Structure 1
Amino acid sequence: MSPVPLSPSDPAAQGVDASGVHAFLDALEAAPEIEPHSLMIVRHGRVVAAGWWAPYTPDRPQLLYSLSKSFTGTAAALAEAEGLLDFDAPVLSYFPEFEADITDPRSRALRVRHVASMASGHDHETLQEAYARDPVEPVRGFLLVPPDADPGTVFAYNQPATYTLAAIVQRVTGQPLTAYLRPRLLDPLGIGEAVWRRDRTGREIGFSGLHATTDAVARLGELYLRDGVWDGERLLPEGWAARAAHPRTPTAGAMGTADRDDWDRGYGYQFWTSRHGYRGDGAYGQFCLVLPEQDAVIATTAATEQMQRYLDLVWEHLLPSFGPGPLSGREGADAELRERLAGLALPPAPGRAAPPGPAGHRDAAEYRAADGTGPVRAASVARDARGWTLSLTGRDHDDRLDLRIGEPGWAVAGGPVPTAVSGGWSDTGTLAVEVQFLETPHRLAVTCSPADGTVVSRWRTQPLHPGPLTSLRAPRDSG
């Protein structure tokens, strides 16, 4: 059953100036370093603007990366409310089988609230260390990495901290995160498909890997904006939203780069403090912005390494568009904005629909990666009665992806790995295509050169989860 849509409204009726949204869209289109995929703006509980850049669509879940953490923190809050989890309890108390192995006093002093707030005492990311110390059980590996300071005194963005929080929730509830959240959060909010990446232990990893729609992100933000109340029903404990948003440990300078104003404001329980309001965020521009002063939520998905730049554009253009009351005489502007949002699209790559030369020329060709770099090891192009197919072979021999090419615009294909392909042949016979993996933020550029029989491939944004090309999708067959 499809979820019931959030109630729409004209922007002006909710005090939102459409010109500010236009300015934001203009700024995104003028920023080559930002590839937007979706945008939802909710004001006073009503959707005033929603758009997806084709080939992305509203009903397709997308990898949220670290925005997954905000759902994990929500699961921990629910488990606490049910008496299954204590934020002040030692982490080790939930894993008594590790008692004899964990001897470092700081690791033994680690509390649930410390891992929930990225304040484990480590001053750096420990993911690789944790897996190196125990490749089979990441929680044990994490606890074997001695903290650099007392827990609660320093901040470090540290994936095993959230992984451990997720592992505790799954242990005390006896369920994967999605199964636990389904009757308590996902179904009441009207969230449809939501699937989470698992690791070799069978756990949903918690710190990343959740695939859900932009609509699901907007609903979570709206729930937090309303202090856990949805449609008159309390879903989250009273006051939890304020607890989650309250910065626990200073983060200024902790991320190690300059010009990151919105990462220097503090971290709560799986939410960041922003210059305005607070947020969940994930790599490459997956955002859930909760703005209590504006009574608004902004949900986005994108592909950009310039995440601060994206937020700067939100503060510059969208924030001033929120006025104190309804605006009159804006029907035309609102209609123009709706039309623009309905027609958003990523520009397809250029190219001819077929290679140059006489019919039948080079109906099949093989290509090899000459330098050993890039995710594609080999490629082949062939024509049949239906048209042209580009077959990509990843670094593993059984990692094969077949793509229809030569169609105008974006050629969208469903199946186990939903993709969209654009591009084609140049006058010299070179084939250059862009492959959008539609359940992730990622795009792959592939160039096949007939002159030397080589294929070159590179990611526009690098996937952060290791795996073959065919793993770039929602993990529906897991578990």
Structure 2
Amino acid sequence: MSVRPLPQSTPAAQGVDASGVHAFLDAVDAAPDIEPHSLMIMRHGHLVASGWWAPYTEDRPHLLYSLSKSFTAAAAALAADEGLLDFDAPVISYFPEFEADIADPRSRAMLIRHVASMASGHGADTLYPALALDHQNLVRGFLLLPPDHDPGTVFAYNQPATYTLGAIVRRVTGQSLTDFLRPRLFDPLGIGETAWLRDRSGGELGFSGLHATTDAVARLGQLYLQRGVWEGERLLSEAWVAEATRAQISNTEVETSGIDWQQGYGFQFWMSRHGYRGDGAFGQFCLVLPEHDAVIATTAATEQMQKLLNLVWEHLLPAFGPTPLPGREERDAALAARLARLALPPAAGKPAPPERAEAWSAVDFAPHGGVCEAQPTLTAVHITEGRNLALIDDGQPLQVPIGNDGWTVVEEPVPLAVSGGWSDADTLVVDIAFLETPHHLVVTCSLTDGTFTARWSTQSLHQGALRTMRAPRASL
């Protein structure tokens, strides 16, 4: 399917001051603990600014982590509109095979609206306790855990709640979430290919694991901003959008990573100090700002998500003004030029030391300390011809080129970009960016003792072999 481009305009024509966008770019580039990957700004239905920090690109899917939840919720809304599920029905009513197992009255009283709003009654996330109770069926494990409070009375961010919501959609539709969403949401919105991580039963995780482009995130946000209507066609009911994007449950007393996580929770959307949002770990944001008729979509790699939001509120919000802003052509052109050349600095490194060329021509490295704690499946590193690095991970070699200037991009078997080189004659440091995720692995090889170390810049929440650090493919 060909993806229809979003309507485009200049920032000034839509009342966006380019200087505010410049200030935001300056701020994120200056923040050592924020690595931006992409930015898209929509105003009055038009794309006014967009950019990707090389080696990340516009057409590449990115792991959205918990921003996936907002797409799962849309699937539930569409199923409800078709009369296939009822948000006021008990969750257990959709899993009659568990009737004999689930005796706790609070578990039996849990409604679909409760799992959709993170108000199942549990006091904390139940992912690992639920898996401990039933490693094969997360829904059953979740329902076997008695809630600490009556459903609907307390907030707790709870991955199995969203998984259960997605499992109900799959059950009542007889389709995967992706197949159900494709003709009803993805195709009408003009969203291209997506991919979703699945569990051992074959079901999409729902609460995480969706890989999609930043463009897809912006389109979802714009659909909600337009109250469910896209190009004159109603895709989501106006009542659903209103309910999903208001606080269904209070979370003001919850200990969180920042104040924007204490503004209330809707149906798989967070309320913010400004507007509302879908968000995912490490800086995947869909910010919807009805008061400014604007949508901001980002992907990134940061553990300081509140800091990233603070920079949006500090620099981008003041940029939204009256329409149009006259006499801004040069400023708009300068911003467009800057956005077109965004790039992450490659890791520093020198070329292979000529005085040690023979020593580096063919050498093997073992994990320092016997085990690579950051990536236990990574058991050895081989270098051949002084420029070919092979990471032996889960028993298979992952070839990584080294010794080139800038970023070197490799597409198979895993899309990645490599930079770095020799920090001294006996030490090689390579930065490996897994381009369909927020994550980098930094590998350091020491010729002195024949060992290597590895560390993640941000630790993947979906643990597995390095070859799985990509959007799922049918062949995998």
TM-score class, shorter: over 0.9
Q: Which amino acid aligns with 1:430?
A: T
Asked if residue 112 in structure 1 is aligned to residue 112 in structure 2, the reply is yes
TM-score, L = length of structure 1: 0.97
Greater mean alpha carbon deviation, residues 245-254 or residues 286-295: 245-254
Seen in structure 2, the aligned counterparts of structure 1 residues 2 and 356 have a Cα distance that, compared at 3 Å, is farther
Percent of paired sites with the same residue: 67
Unpaired runs of 5+ in structure 2? none
* Matching of residues 214-253 of structure 1 within 5 Å: 214-253=214-253
Shift of 1:120: 0.2
Q: Which residue among 441, 444, 448 is the counterpart of 2:438?
A: 441
Q: Which amino acid aligns with 2:238?
A: E
Asked if residue 211 in structure 1 is aligned to residue 208 in structure 2, the reply is no
Shift of 1:238: 2.1
Unpaired runs of 5+ in structure 1? none
Shift of 1:428: 2.1
Q: Which amino acid aligns with 1:178?
A: T
Given that residues 392 and 398 in structure 2 are in contact (C-alpha distance below 8 angstroms), is that contact kept between their aligned partners in structure 1? Answer: yes
Corresponding residue SS for 1:38: strand
* Matching of residues 79-94 of structure 1 within 5 Å: 79-94=79-94
Given that residues 121 and 155 in structure 1 are in contact (C-alpha distance below 8 angstroms), is that contact kept between their aligned partners in structure 2? Answer: yes
* Matching of residues 272-287 of structure 1 within 5 Å: 272-287=270-285
* Matching of residues 30-429 of structure 1 within 5 Å: 30-254=30-254, 256-257=255-256, 260-357=258-355, 359-371=357-369, 372=371, 373-375=373-375, 376-383=378-385, 388-394=387-393, 396-398=394-396, 400-429=397-426
- 1:13-39 Cα distance to aligned partner (Å, 9 max, x none): 000000000000000011101000000
Q: Which amino acid aligns with 2:389?
A: L
Corresponding residue SS for 2:355: coil
Given that residues 356 and 429 in structure 1 are in contact (C-alpha distance below 8 angstroms), is that contact kept between their aligned partners in structure 2? Answer: no
Measured in 1, the distance between the counterparts of 2:55 and 2:2 equals 21
- 1:62-121 Cα distance to aligned partner (Å, 9 max, x none): 100000000000000000000001000000000000000000000000100000000000
Shift of 1:466: 1.7
Measured in 2, the distance between the counterparts of 1:358 and 1:107 equals 66
- 1:115-167 Cα distance to aligned partner (Å, 9 max, x none): 00000000101000110000111100000011000000000000000000000
Given that residues 275 and 287 in structure 2 are in contact (C-alpha distance below 8 angstroms), is that contact kept between their aligned partners in structure 1? Answer: yes
Shift of 1:261: 1.1
Given that residues 84 and 173 in structure 1 are in contact (C-alpha distance below 8 angstroms), is that contact kept between their aligned partners in structure 2? Answer: yes
- 1:181-223 Cα distance to aligned partner (Å, 9 max, x none): 0000000111001110100111011000000000000000000
Given that residues 81 and 237 in structure 1 are in contact (C-alpha distance below 8 angstroms), is that contact kept between their aligned partners in structure 2? Answer: yes
Greater mean alpha carbon deviation, residues 402-411 or residues 73-82: 402-411
TM-score, L = length of structure 2: 0.97
Given that residues 227 and 236 in structure 1 are in contact (C-alpha distance below 8 angstroms), is that contact kept between their aligned partners in structure 2? Answer: yes
Corresponding residue SS for 1:362: helix
Shift of 1:429: 2.8
Shift of 1:239: 2.3
Measured in 1, the distance between the counterparts of 2:356 and 2:93 equals 73
Given that residues 349 and 422 in structure 1 are in contact (C-alpha distance below 8 angstroms), is that contact kept between their aligned partners in structure 2? Answer: yes
Partner of residue 10, structure 2: 10
Seen in structure 2, the aligned counterparts of structure 1 residues 146 and 467 have a Cα distance that, compared at 3 Å, is same
Measured in 2, the distance between the counterparts of 1:72 and 1:225 equals 18
Corresponding residue SS for 1:320: helix
Measured in 1, the distance between the counterparts of 2:13 and 2:203 equals 45
Corresponding residue SS for 1:357: helix
Q: In the comparison of the two structures, how many residue pairs are matched?
A: 472
- 1:385-406 Cα distance to aligned partner (Å, 9 max, x none): xx72111123x324x3111111
Given that residues 416 and 473 in structure 1 are in contact (C-alpha distance below 8 angstroms), is that contact kept between their aligned partners in structure 2? Answer: no
Shift of 1:478: 7.1
Corresponding residue SS for 2:424: coil
Measured in 2, the distance between the counterparts of 1:181 and 1:442 equals 28
Given that residues 166 and 206 in structure 2 are in contact (C-alpha distance below 8 angstroms), is that contact kept between their aligned partners in structure 1? Answer: yes
Q: CA RMSD in A?
A: 1.2
- 1:230-269 Cα distance to aligned partner (Å, 9 max, x none): 0111111122211101111111132x246x1100000000
Q: Which amino acid aligns with 1:135?
A: H
Measured in 1, the distance between the counterparts of 2:301 and 2:391 equals 22
Extract structure 1 runs of 4+ deviating beyond 6 A: none
Measured in 2, the distance between the counterparts of 1:361 and 1:248 equals 64
Partner of residue 464, structure 1: 461
Given that residues 277 and 287 in structure 2 are in contact (C-alpha distance below 8 angstroms), is that contact kept between their aligned partners in structure 1? Answer: yes
Given that residues 287 and 299 in structure 1 are in contact (C-alpha distance below 8 angstroms), is that contact kept between their aligned partners in structure 2? Answer: yes
Q: Which amino acid aligns with 2:390?
A: S
Measured in 2, the distance between the counterparts of 1:213 and 1:356 equals 43
